């Protein structure tokens, strides 16, 4: 006897929903790229006015907006007038919790076409990006600054959603010096330092990234910039020494186990006695999944799809707590606990 399933549409209809989800994603991405939500920020507007503002064909734009309405992003009023819903507000460039550029990124050829070679990756275990685009993902980004701009803004938007829950969930006040490895422009580190007035931070990333970090730190609460040291380099070679905590936020999911071990080993060698390694990651639930995720945590399907995205893009992976424990052990570290922090958790480790 087959396990019972929740009541819902018949299997064929459910399959249709699943396989056409890519169509919906592309429609949302196009709406984000056109700036539809920005045009509706001041209130409802008729489709002709929206089309003129975004340089689109009015009858065809109506078809797109109709689909976005059925997806819950817009409300259609009489006379082909459209307004934003609460969900649609998140597609505004300056909206609360904006995900506009993340939506745009998922529709770009750099991302979407890569997924067409998922079967290749499943068969070989190798990323698909180079096979599709002729370059590894980070080389491609360097040669396509327009794509890199969207990607950077997308990652900033995604990161901004995890900062407050992580800072609230984990006690960073125990550390005098926190080294943010691959910390980008420093938004997470700035939030941690703002909440822990006695802590000092070291923001470590590639030289070009560090050069752009001043803007975020300048806009941080008073005192944060003065307690932050900027350092640049390659985390595969070494990381700044003497930290009490080495923070890696969504870094290891970019890499398979061998390069991840090298990064972790460098943190182990650099950290002060009694130090910690703190991994901020969306943790895969143990399999088989037997319980609903904690409040605020992502559904198992979301993290599983993120795992496949890491695979096709760069050969990276999401990991379960058990997989993190094994990886940390191979780098001379020992997992001590996993602290749920909303979408991401803080995976804590000490010297093994």
CATH of the domain at 95: 1.10.10.10
Residue of 1 and 122 predicted with greater confidence: 122
The single residue of 57, 101, 133, 253 carrying the catalytic annotation is 253
pTM across the whole model: 0.92
* 303 lies in some domain: yes
Average pLDDT of the segment spanning 7-15:
90
| pLDDT of residue 136 exceeding 90 | yes
Residue of 161 and 1 predicted with greater confidence: 161
* Residue numbers of the domain that contains 257: 159-351
Average pLDDT of the segment spanning 123-137:
96
Could you write out the DSSP letters of every residue in 117-144?
Answer: GHHHHHHHSS-SHHHHHSS-HHHHHHH-
Location of structure tokens 């550390």: 175
Q: State the pairing for strand pair 81-84/200-205.
A: unpaired
Average pLDDT of the segment spanning 268-292:
93
166 shares its domain with 98: no
Burial class of residue 110, CB neighbours in 10 A (0-12, 13-18, 19+): buried
Is 253 tagged catalytic? yes
Residue 4, pLDDT score? 55
| pLDDT of residue 244 exceeding 50 | yes
Residues 6+ apart with CB under 8 A from 234: 206
- What is the C-alpha separation between 193 and 200, in angstroms, rounded? 7
Location of structure tokens 């919906």: 24
171 shares its domain with 305: yes
8 A C-beta contact, residue 188 and residue 166: yes
Structure tokens at 189: 């580190």
91 shares its domain with 178: no
| pLDDT of residue 199 exceeding 80 | yes
pLDDT confidence band for 328 (50 / 70 / 90): very high
183 shares its domain with 326: yes
Query: Average pLDDT over the chain, rounded to whole?
Result: 95
């Amino acid at each position: 006897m087959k396990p019972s399933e929740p009541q819902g549409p018949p299997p064929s209809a459910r399959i249709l929903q699943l396989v056409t989800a890519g169509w919906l994603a592309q429609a949302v991405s196009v709406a984000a790229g056109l700036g539809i939500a920005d045009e509706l920020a001041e209130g409802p507007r008729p489709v002709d006015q929206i089309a003129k503002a975004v340089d689109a064909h009015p009858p065809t734009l109506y078809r797109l907006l109709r689909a976005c309405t059925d997806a819950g992003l817009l409300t259609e009023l009489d006379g082909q007038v459209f307004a934003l819903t609460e969900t649609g507000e998140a597609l505004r460039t300056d909206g609360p919790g904006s995900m506009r550029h993340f939506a745009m990124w998922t529709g770009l050829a750099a991302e979407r076409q890569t997924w067409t070679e998922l079967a290749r990756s499943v068969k070989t275990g190798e990323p698909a990006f180079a096979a599709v685009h002729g370059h590894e993902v980070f080389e491609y980004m360097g040669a396509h600054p327009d794509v890199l701009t969207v990607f950077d803004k997308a990652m900033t938007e995604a990161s901004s959603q995890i900062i407050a829950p992580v800072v609230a969930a984990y006690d960073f006040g125990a550390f005098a010096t926190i080294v943010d490895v691959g910390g980008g422009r420093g938004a997470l580190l700035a939030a941690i330092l703002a909440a822990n007035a006695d802590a000092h931070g070291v923001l470590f990333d590639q030289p070009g990234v560090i050069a752009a970090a001043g803007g975020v730190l300048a806009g941080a609460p008073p005192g944060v910039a003065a307690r932050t040291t900027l350092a640049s380099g390659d985390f595969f070679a070494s990381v700044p020494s003497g930290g009490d905590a080495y923070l890696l936020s969504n870094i290891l999911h970019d890499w398979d186990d061998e390069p991840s071990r090298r990064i972790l080993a460098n943190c182990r060698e650099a950290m002060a006695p009694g130090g910690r390694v703190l991994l901020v990651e969306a943790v895969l639930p143990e399999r088989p999944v037997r319980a609903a995720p904690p409040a605020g945590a992502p559904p198992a399907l979301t993290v599983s799809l993120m795992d496949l995205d890491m695979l096709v893009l760069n050969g990276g992976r999401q990991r379960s707590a058990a997989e993190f424990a094994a990886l940390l052990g191979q780098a001379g570290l020992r997992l001590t606990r996993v602290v749920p922090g909303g979408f991401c958790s803080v995976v804590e480790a000490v010297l093994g």
